[in-house]
Amino acid sequence: MAEREKAAIRVLITLEPPTPDTKCEAVSAAHYDSPGCRRKYPRLQIRTIEDLLAGTGIDYPPSMQTNVTFKKPATRAPRAAQGAPGRVSADD
């Protein structure tokens, strides 16, 4: 599913502590290199409900550096007042 969704970071939230095999898989997963803050984040993170309630958060880049989905629109130069429609020139 993560490959289908092209997820950079995956989080497994569980009620029970993870098994040693699950921990090993999480540790062996590659890291996500954040282009914005030049830091590596674990691609697979495991958190128990107890961890989350204790304040252990999910390690991910700040949201202002993760929005790479959309291109920014090209900016247009403002129209000159002389050629703008609806303007009446002094000569009229």
Q: Confirm whether 9 is domain-assigned.
A: yes
pTM over 0.85: no
The tally of domains found in the chain comes to: 1
Those residues whose C-beta lies under 8 Å from the C-beta of residue 26, and which sit 6 or more positions away, are: 12, 18, 42, 44, 45, 46
Q: Confirm whether 34 is domain-assigned.
A: yes
Domain that holds residue 33: 1-59
How does pLDDT run across 16-70, given as a tens digit for each residue? 999 999 888 888 888 888 777 778 888 889 999 999 999 988 888 876 655 555 5
Q: Confirm whether 80 is domain-assigned.
A: no
Inter-residue contact 43 to 10 (CB < 8 Å): yes
How does pLDDT run across 65-90, given as a tens digit for each residue? 555 555 667 777 777 655 556 555 56
